[in-house]
Structure 1
Amino acid sequence: MFDLDGTLIDSVPDLAFAVDCMLVDLQREKAGQDKVRHWVGNGAAMLVKRALSNKMIPKKVDGELFQQAYQSFLDHYQDVSGRQSKLYPHVSKTLKQLREHYPYLAVITNKPEQFTPALLKAHDLPEFDLILCGDSLPEKKPHPAPLLHCMNTLGCHVSESIMVGDSLSDIKAAKAAGVAVICVEYGYHQGEDLSSYQPEALISSFDELVK
């Protein structure tokens, strides 16, 4: 089971562009890629709240303002998703190698479903057996429900499953589901020292999964 943003694909350039366009629509100052890179990792709604608050822990946002901002973000991201994003090194080759040795590969992301399949297709990734998005189920990571649903759907036992991600949300979801978790050291971990949460392994390059 793989996280998407920050694990397989660096999507911050597209996300930052959409966030900045949203802020301009609201007559606010642009945030820029550096801030957005720090804010990414907990789904589109949280990203918008952080952008509106201009801080990692957002203050309470007026409901009407949030809905206006969220729709603006979705519209702009729909226009640019996949244009500037790129695969992290060795992702495509490694996934193809894993496909030869493991019966199932799945993506579990907090990204909305309207963007995920097209983004995967744009980067010509191997076909996944299951794709679960942030709005596929009532709960998303760090809740374990997506991981449990994935294993149940594919008929996999927890002892046969691994979560690969880049953030504390991935670690929390995996541990709550009883699944081993491997974290990449790149990606969007929001300044967290992931080693302190004791994943089974930390890797600096995606191809370490097959070494």
Structure 2
Amino acid sequence: MSLYPAPRAILFDLDGTLADTAPDLAAALNLLRTVRGLEPTPYELLRPQASHGARGMIGVSFGLKPQDDGFDELRDGFFSNYEAAMVVHSTLFEGVNELLAGIADAGLRWGIVTNKPKRFTDPLVPQIGLALASCVISGDTTPHAKPHPAPLLEAASRLGLAPEECWYVGDDLRDIQAGHAAGMRTIACQWGYCGAIEPAAWGADHLLASPAELLALIRATVPSPTSLAA
């Protein structure tokens, strides 16, 4: 705890952290199957892969990897399906609106750092209720995506902050790896998709079960809005 100053900004992953986008991602994937006469892949198998995008969803549903024949065609179809229906069933997780309001009340800024391509991030963010983000870094904003620290360092730079003045919150091992590499305090959110590796094994600085727990941690750490003003 003492290795880090009080935060001046909280950075978030998007899918599985701020927003529950798995329903629309799963629908886009299963449309690929139904038009081919295949049974839909059960949602409970797709949901944990939502943070892994096309690679994870196609992998679990079709058994293909990016280097395999046919993957690119499926990926392009998946992208087209998703782009056409991104905010049909997707919502912010319960407690996220209150969390973001509490962050603002504490005198902090917040931003988004996602591996989701800009093609989807730019229209999704305002539609789902996240237009007040101070910065949005997509998976193709920098030459490297997470777990590389470049996207997080870019976010800190755009906010005019040192990396250690930011916290990073995510629901995937790559998020925690990127946060550590960037020199940020890391928070693993158990309310997200989390994938196959248990969050307790990620080595995050904090492991929290709800947005309300994160807000409580921020309030316990931040001394006062006036002392944190830029």
Say whether the fold is shared (TM-score over 0.5): yes
Preserved contact between residue 173 and residue 197 of structure 2 (Cα < 8 Å): yes
Contact 2:21 2:50 in 1 (8 A): no
Contact 2:103/2:109, CA 8 A, preserved across alignment: no
Identical aligned residues as a percent: 31
Q: Determine the structure 1 residue equivalent to 2:50.
A: 40
Compute the displacement of 1:44 (Å).
3.0
Query: Which consecutive residues of structure 1, in runs of 5 or more, have no partner in the other structure?
Result: none
CA drift at 1:68: 1.4
Residue aligning to 1:166: 171
Q: Say whether 1:61 aligns with 2:68.
A: yes
Rg (Cα) greater in structure: 2
Q: Aligned residues, how many?
A: 206
User: For the aligned residues, what is the CA RMSD?
Assistant: 1.9
Equivalence map 1:1-211=2 (5 Å): 1-53=11-63, 58=65, 60-62=67-69, 65-125=70-130, 127-211=132-216
Rate the CA distance shift 1:127–1:69 in 2: closer, same or farther, 3 A.
Answer: same
Q: How many angstroms apart in 1 are the aligned matches of 2:62 and 2:141?
A: 25
Specify the SS of the correspondent of 1:135.
coil
Of residues 107-116 and 18-27 in structure 1, the stretch that sits farther from structure 2 once superposed is: 18-27
Q: Which residue of 1 aligns with 2:4?
A: none
Matches of 1:110 and 1:59, distance apart in 2: 16
* AA matched with 2:93: Y
Counterpart AA for 1:183: A
CA, structure 1 residues 47+136, in 2 after alignment: closer, same or farther (shift >3 Å)?
farther
Paired residue for 2:7?
A: none
Q: 1:12 to 1:210 in 2, by over 3 A?
A: same
Secondary structure at 1:164 match in 2: strand
Spell out, residue by residue over 1:63-112, the C-alpha distance to the aligned partner (whole angstroms, 9 max, x if none).
xx222111111111112211101211110121012023244311011112
TM-score when scaled to structure 1? 0.89
Instruction: Please report how far the alpha carbon of residue 46 of structure 1 lies from its aligned counterpart in structure 2 after TM superposition.
Output: 4.2
Pick closer, same or farther for the CA change 1:22–1:104 going to 2, 3 Å.
Answer: same
Cα drift, residue 19 of structure 1: 0.3
Kept in 2: contact 1:148–1:177 (CA 8 A):
yes
Tell me the TM-score normalized by structure 2.
0.82
Structure 2: unaligned runs, 5 residues or longer: 1-10, 217-230
Q: How far off is 1:43 after superposition? A: 3.2
CA distance in 1, matches of 2:168, 2:26: 26
Give the aligned residue type for 2:207: L
